[in-house]
Amino acid sequence: MNILVSDGTWTGLLTCIFEIYDRKLGQVSIVTQKRFQPDAFCSGLFLLPDENKAKRVWAGLAKRISRKALRSLYSCYLSELIGIENTICEFVRLAFKMQESPELAFGNPAVLQISQVDKMVHREKHRMEAFIRFQLTSDNLYYASIEPDFNVIPLILSHFRSRYADQRWLIYDVKRNYGIYYDLGTVSEVVLNHNKSSTENRTTAFHEDEVMYQTLWKDYFKHVNITERKNVKLHLMHVPKRYWKHLTEKTG
C-alpha cells in the first residue's frame, strides 16, 4: 500500500493524483498531513502542493467530465469528511479509464458517494446563504460569524459579493478560524486573532445603532409568527438548533 500525504489543500490533493499516474502507483491511499499516523509497517510519502501538476490534472478532467461533475468533486473536497480524498481519487481514476464520464454510474460506490456528499455540502451552502445575519460594527463593517458543518465559505463567496456589493462585510467561520473580507472591490481571505479580552468586550465593537436594529428585527420576527400555526418539528427540519446561536431572532 502506497500512502501519499498531502498538506490538506485542494492543490495538494490534485498533486497527489498527478503523482499516482506519474509514478505508476498501484494501490494507493491519500491522507492529509493532519490525519496521518505513521507506524512501523508503512511510511507515508509527503508531497508538496504543485500548482502546475494540479492544473494538468484539472485540465485533463475538464476534457472528460462535465463542469457540474468538476464542481461536485470540489464540493466533496470541502466536506472535509475522513477518507473523501480517496473517494475523489477513485472517481478521477474512473474518469480517465472510462470512455464516457462516470458521473451517472451510480452503481459504483465512489460515484454514488460523490453525488451524496455533493448534495449535503450544497444543502449547507444554501442554509448559510439564508441564515447569515450581519451585525454593523463601530467602523461601519458588516460582520457575521458562522459554524457550518462543511467548509462552504468558498461556495458562498460569489453570492454575497454580488448581493452586498455596496457595503464592506466580513463573514467569519469560527469553527475553522478563517473568513472572507469584502472591501467594496475585492474579496480576500483573513484570519483573526481572538483573545479573552476581545470576547468580553465584543459588544463595544458594534455600532451604537446595532442594538436598536436587532430589537426591531426580533419584534418583526415575533409579530409575523402565527402561534396557532406553530409547527416545531417542521421548523427544526428547516432551521436546526445548531444554527440558532448565530441567528439574531433566536438570541436573547
**Lowest mean pLDDT, pick from 116-120, 159-163, 239-243:** 239-243
Cell representation of residue 168: 464592506
Per-residue b/e over 203-223, b at no fewer than 16 CB within 10 Å?
A: eeebbeebeeebeeeeeeeee
Q: How does the average pLDDT of the chain come out, rounded?
A: 85
Q: Please report the pLDDT score of residue 197 as a whole number.
A: 39
CA 224 to chain centre: 32
pLDDT for 234 equals 59
What confidence tier does 158 reach under pLDDT thresholds 50, 70, 90? Answer: very high
175-221 residue pLDDT tens: 999 999 999 999 999 998 865 434 444 444 665 555 544 555 455 44
CA-CA distance, 172 to 185, in Å (whole number)? Answer: 18
pLDDT band, residue 96 (cuts 50/70/90)? very high
Strands (E), 103-209: 135-136, 142-146, 169-173, 178-182, 187-190
Q: CB neighbours of 99 closer than 8 A, spacing ≥ 6?
A: none
Instruction: Report the pLDDT averaged over residues 97-104.
Output: 93
Question: Is residue 227 scored above 50 in pLDDT?
Answer: yes
Residue 236 in this model has a pLDDT that exceeds 80? no
pLDDT tens, residue by residue, 35-65: 888 775 667 899 999 999 999 999 999 999 9
Angle between helices 10-22 and 51-62 (to 10 degrees): 80
Q: Which of 42-46, 93-97, 233-237 has the highest mean pLDDT?
A: 93-97
What's the whole-number mean pLDDT along residues 116-127? 96
C-alpha cell of residue 116: 451524496
Q: Please, which residues have CB within 8 angstroms of residue 185's CB and are 6 or more apart in sequence?
A: none
* 203-208 own/partner pairs: CB under 8 Å, 24+ apart: 204/138, 205/137, 205/138, 206/135, 206/136, 206/137, 206/138, 207/136, 207/137, 207/138, 207/140, 208/138
pLDDT of residue 217: 45
